[in-house]
Chain A
Amino acid sequence: MATSRNHGRSAMTRLKSVLVIAFIGAYLSALSFGTVAHALKVGLCGNTLSFYVVWDMFCGWTAWDARTHLIAEGASGQYYDVRAPWGEFHPFGHLARIHHDNTNDLLPRHIQNVLRHTAHEPIDRVYTIEEVWPKQYNLPPGLYDEHFGRPNDKLSYYHLRAVFRDDGTPMSIYPDWHAKQKLQAVYDNPRLRRQSANATSLFSTLYNPSQARAGSTLNTSMSAGLSTN
């Protein structure tokens, strides 16, 4: 017909139609799952593919700015800055990639990679230091003076976050600065300190029912000084 504008191949085959409809249904179902799961907080934990259907951009920012520093201690006692000497990559602005490592999965690999590709003496350990400061000090001088009326006496606070071996194996890991502040605020309570000192340890098996049934006598806590229920 004269109105035909699709070159005689206008109709989809029945199979193609079914596949297209199935894809549309599956795609929209996936997007819907992401929205519902995000709203109700179900089905997301450990679900990697949920990252592609959950739109949690802007889920919170802190009042403190933070940077990560890696300091290696050599066998001679010299300290080194564990930073890529070939140039750091800035993925989303002017901060190096290591500063975006919120889950701390990059830290050991970054240490290993930098140490493997640089010339240096034997390294005893690598310290991860968190540097934090309040964000109001990021304002330019004019704006700061206008709004705060006090000197911009920015002070960075440094907090030891972890200690690694030279191959990236963690030796010690500590709570991050924010968690430490919250813990300190809770612990700064004499009543809570007294109660926790008198309480049963969190990491002790007091009684093992299955072993007791099996006739084992080693089914109570062997730690001295603990009170039992």
Chain B
Amino acid sequence: MNPPPAENSPRTALGRFFFARETPYGMALLRIVLPLAAGVPMTMRFPFVRELFTTDGSPVQLFEMFRQGSVLPVLTPAVAVPLYGIMLLCMLTSIVGFRTRTSLWVTTVLYLYFNALDGVGTLTKYSVIASHMLLLLSLSHAGSVWSVDAFLKKRSGDVNVLPPRFPVWPARLVQLLFAFIYFGASITKIQTAEFFSGEQMRYWMLSDWNYENPVGEIVAMSSPLLLISAYLSVIWEVLFAFLVWRPRGRIVMLGAGAMFHFMTWLTLGLYVFPAICLSGYLAFVSEQDILRLRRISVLRPIRAAIRLPALAVSRVADIFPQTVPAGVVWICLLAAAAIGATEAELQMDIYQSRSEAGLLKLMPIDRDIALTMLRDKTPVREHDKFFNFEIGTSTIGYQLSNRRTDYSVGDTMIAQCNLNPPHEDMWVECLLQDDEQRTIEQFGQFVPRESLRANFFYTVDSKLVAGRYSMVLKSANQEIYRRHFSLSGNSTPQIFDVSTN
């Protein structure tokens, strides 16, 4: 006879943290959303399965990139393609919660395998995070609520009206996973030179490596924004693990995280990474959260809408007689997915090897273009060694924080040039010229190869009169940039008494 549940509840805080019992609503939500977020990019890879993951293509394993050889078996298309189809189907059955645990295990194993097989074009940190979460989902009872399995269990005569409860440790491990991810990411940023001066973020936002990011291109040109966001992101990442399990801290940390990931979409053009991370936040949803949401009357129409999938499932399930075991249906679906994937891939015939015209031709390239690329010995132009040249009066984190074109006597002007590494040791000059390009002042300095910027300070004194001037940046005796500014104030020229010997 089982002891009463009260005697089984953990006695220590750590025990309650991992083994308190709750209905796994959070993990169920994660089960619904994560395979969708991870499945979309894998579905996009299906037309290229043969090229990316089989012996008839060009897979590069993660183990090879770490110089440990080909540890994973590379399968022929006849085996890999149906397995890929099975993986996609199991992601779908995980979402709807049909044969949930088995589906999740199959998904986890195949997802890990296919991602590790293509270390160049498939495996990336978002797929690593997704792999962790899939593993923890496989160990959880994520299919016990809001799932086809739960519906079938009810239909088979399980009369318990209350949802089941299980120890929360899988959800806790997902939560701890994010704590480690963010803390590790903060260490990466702390160890990366030029992160806190904004250059690294600027270079990433200006890269054309991900999807379009027009907002990022605007932000990239604002050093104060880059610096402030750099510090805020690191502070949030460090504090996450210490505040996320506190009642109010959870709201703040998860809210900041949602904003952070939203900004990575907006400024960096990342789509899948924020989707997967935000799906992981669903593991923070507790039983109490769902009970609170259910009491909010405004959400009742949404609850009615959410019941529609359950209604659809019940209609579909009615097609199958109850005498047909769910496992048999699932196996049949797997077989259909394997056959369907094989047939679809054969029809796609990515290499066109079965077409009447034969293999596709290699595209010729214009000889002049080819030779231009092959023989290019063009030295780097002097102005390509510089990112920009600006004038202002204040800095934040060693970066110019304002751009000014109007000055008064007494202002200290900062003329700053940012360089594009790698560059050699340079001699860089800054000239102050009037509107007729007569040189008034000239300053120069060495900029060693490790420097990313150089500053020239000039205090506007009464030597100048009101009018238009220019600060000119020169390198290797070439004018690189010219910045105009106006001087306001007293236009009376200064008269000097000249003493003679």
Contacts and interface: CB of A to CB of B under 8 A. Distances in A.
Interface in A93-135: 93-95, 97, 99-101, 103, 105-106, 109-110, 112-115, 117-120, 127, 129, 131, 133-135
The CB with the most chain A CB atoms within 10 A, among B3, B51, B183, is that of B51
Interface residues of B, number: 112
B492 interface: no
Interface string B189-208: 10111000001100110111
B495 interface: no
Interface string A191-203: 0000000000000
Interface stretch (B82-90, B94-102, B294-302, B358-366): B358-366
A143 B218 contact: yes
A58 B363 CA distance: 36
Given A24-B18, A51-B62, A178-B422, A118 B380 contact: no
B251 interface: no
Nearest to A111: B58
A149 B481 contact: yes
Nearest to B190: A39
A112 B124 CA distance: 24
Given A63-B387, A65-B208, A181-B422, A160 B362 contact: no
Contacts of A143: 217-218, 221
A47 interface: yes
A140 B203 contact: no
Nearest to B272: A92
B420 interface: yes
B406 interface: no
B45 A89 contact: yes
A144 to B, nearest CB: 10
Interface string B92-136: 000000000000000000000000000111111100100110000
Interface string B45-56: 100100110000
A100 B122 CA distance: 10
B421 A118 contact: no
B39 interface: no
A129 B209 CA distance: 18
A129 B374 contact: yes
Chain B CB within 10 Å, residue with most, of A28, A46, A92, A105: A92
B493 to A, nearest CB: 30
B208 A134 contact: no
A117 B3 contact: no
B49 to A, nearest CB: 10
Contacts of A23: 139
A175 to B, nearest CB: 12
B60 A119 contact: no
Contacts of B8: 10-11
B430 to A, nearest CB: 16
A206 interface: no
A135 B206 contact: yes
Interface in B360-398: 360-367, 370-374, 376, 378, 380-381, 383-384, 387-388
B410 to A, nearest CB: 26
A155 B384 CA distance: 9
Contacts of A131: 373
A155 B378 contact: yes
A103 B208 CA distance: 20
Interface string A20-58: 100110011001101100110000001110011111111
A71 B423 contact: no
A112 to B, nearest CB: 7
Interface string B2-46: 111110100000000010010000000000000000000100010
19 contacts: A1-B5, A5-B5, A5-B165, A58-B185, A63-B387, A91-B121, A93-B208, A93-B209, A100-B120, A117-B359, A119-B361, A120-B362, A131-B373, A134-B420, A138-B207, A139-B221, A149-B481, A178-B422, A185-B425
Sort A-B residue pairs by CB-CB distance and give the 10 closest, nearest first.
A55-B184, A79-B370, A97-B121, A158-B376, A109-B58, A63-B420, A91-B121, A185-B424, A120-B362, A85-B360
Interface of A: 1, 3-12, 20, 23-24, 27-28, 31-32, 34-35, 38-39, 46-48, 51-65, 69, 71-72, 78-87, 89, 91-95, 97, 99-101, 103, 105-106, 109-110, 112-115, 117-120, 127, 129, 131, 133-136, 138-140, 143, 147-150, 155, 157-160, 178, 181-182, 184-185, 188
